[in-house]
Structure 1
Amino acid sequence: MPVNLDALLRYHTINYCLQQRGKKWTWEELANACAEYADEVAYRTTRNIPSKRTIQNDIKVMRSNDLGYNAPIKNENGRYYYEDIHYSIKNTTINHADLSAIATAAKVLGQYKGFNFFDDLNNIFSKFESRLQIKIINDFDASIQFEKDEEVKGTQYLKLLLNAIQDKTVLKIDYKKFNDSYCKPHVVHPYLLKEYDGRWYLLGWHQEGQYIVTLALDRMENIEMITEVEYCSQSFNAEQYFFNTLGVTFNGEAPQQIILKVEKEYAPYLLTKPMHRSQILIKNEDDGCIFEYNLVINQELENWILAHCNHISIIQPLQLKQAIFSKIQKAANNFS
């Protein structure tokens, strides 16, 4: 039975409570204990108390053999306790498949240096199970590797920004554009962290400008929390916001029908890894394939076309074709 980290936290918290001999616990007391421990482990400042149904389902899982616990949990007048005073789920064994799944998740999350997920997971496991073999997780380092630049500036802010999003905390961000000689403060209501092309970006509501702003983490100089300003959500939906956008730049313009012709030899790369979700193969010709997209024209789209321009030609729109042609001419002059 697959189990997420939040549920695992609750099982071990409930186990810790029920091991307190001489006390029997109501579901409310167990729920509060779970919320308190989850906040401590995840460094959250807001309390998320599990519902009665969640606690009752957790107890049902712990009583069952789904995770191999078979916990002897009894209920007496609405209060829970262990019938066997020596029982603990720490005496059960986590199998190799479970550890492999945890190891994979830890490795995927651990590639992002600013989050420190891997260290957090190890700390959590050490509190859970003295018999948990972290070596299995460490062994995954030799079998999977991600292309990740550990020196990208700004990743030190990742965890702080993620916590601000989850806690709905307004931020004052000192931001310096590449061509500016000074920092400019921005008061932002953070909504989303997004990675694109090896860089991280924060999207949020710009309080002064009253619009959704995109700020690159590598251009942030300082971040302060502003607790006296009420957070404004603006019903932001990341899926809808980026639905017709490649990358992170959305300029508010309507998407356009973009038709590209791709060389026959290069077409399989787009078929196996589409440039965008809107990609449609509309025609297969002898000398190439015709693809259609519905996209906002932005810098990321132009950069993608330029990176593959020796394999691609633009059929429409004309404005995009002219913009790319102008940049290719400039590039040619640079090498003439």
Structure 2
Amino acid sequence: YHPYTRLNPTRDIVLEPYFLKIFKQRWYVTGRNVKEDVIKTYALDRMSEATLLPSVYEVPEDFDAEAYFRDSYGIIFDEGEVKHVAVRTDSRQAKYFRSVPLHASQQEVLHDSYSIFYFKIKITPDFVQELLSYGPKVTVLSPPELRAIMINNLREALAQY
């Protein structure tokens, strides 16, 4: 497995796969990493070799695949607690958010020239990256820690120029 966070591949991962998920045009498999005894998610396109083992396992009865990512934007699930997020958009961007919601918890309050979208979601790096991708079309109103993350990322980006 070739993670983007390391130079060398990770070898000999034994995974008991629980489910597949597609996110941002990539397929991911989530399951129990046997050696670490923890549930992890792996991108299929970063696997260079896979072998089907003869061992048998059972997905735990209390595991709910839909609930697993319910509070997450994408494929990162274990970062912090659910927060109430408010994002203001201009009226044009609001149309895009309406047509393809960012998250199942999305709710909108419509104003004359803008909308405020509310989410109950974990503040994960992929959610932050998504919000940053809209540039000046969105403004995070709350929570304060997400505003601080956005400001810091924007300052770091601007410093590159």
- Does 2:38 align with 1:211? yes
What is the TM-score of this pair, normalised by structure 2?
A: 0.90
SS at match of 1:314: strand
| Richer in strand (by share) | 2
State the distance in 2 between where 1:232 and 1:277 align.
Answer: 29
Counterpart of 1:328, as a letter, is: L
Aligned-pair CA distance for 1:184: 2.6
Aligned-pair CA distance for 1:205: 1.0
Partner of 2:101: 274
Counterpart of 1:280, as a letter, is: Q
Partner of 1:194: 21
Partner of 2:132: 306
State the distance in 2 between where 1:252 and 1:246 align.
Answer: 11
State the distance in 2 between where 1:222 and 1:214 align.
Answer: 16
Aligned-pair CA distance for 1:285: 2.5
Deviates more, 1:305-314 or 1:269-278: 269-278
SS at match of 2:76: coil
- Does 2:161 align with 1:321? no
How does 1:56-95 map onto structure 2 within 5 Å?
A: none
- Does 2:53 align with 1:253? no
2:70 to 229, 243, 261: 243
Counterpart of 2:103, as a letter, is: H
SS at match of 2:136: coil
Aligned-pair CA distance for 1:297: 1.1
Aligned-pair CA distance for 1:252: 5.1
- Does 2:117 align with 1:295? no
- Does 2:58 align with 1:232? yes
- Is this contact kept in 2: 1:192–1:203, CA < 8 A? yes
SS at match of 2:57: coil
What is the TM-score of this pair, normalised by structure 1?
A: 0.45
State the distance in 2 between where 1:317 and 1:278 align.
Answer: 16
Aligned-pair CA distance for 1:190: 0.5
Aligned-pair CA distance for 1:214: 0.3
Say which structure, 1 or 2, has more relative contact order (CA 8 Å, 6+ apart). 2
SS at match of 1:184: coil
| Richer in helix (by share) | 1
- Is this contact kept in 2: 1:263–1:288, CA < 8 A? yes
State the distance in 2 between where 1:246 and 1:321 align.
Answer: 17
State the percentage of identical aligned residues: 25
**Unaligned segments of structure 1, at least 5 residues:** 1-174
- Does 2:6 align with 1:177? no
Q: CA RMSD in A?
A: 1.6
State the distance in 2 between where 1:312 and 1:209 align.
Answer: 39
The alignment covers a number of residue pairs equal to 159
How does 1:128-147 map onto structure 2 within 5 Å?
A: none
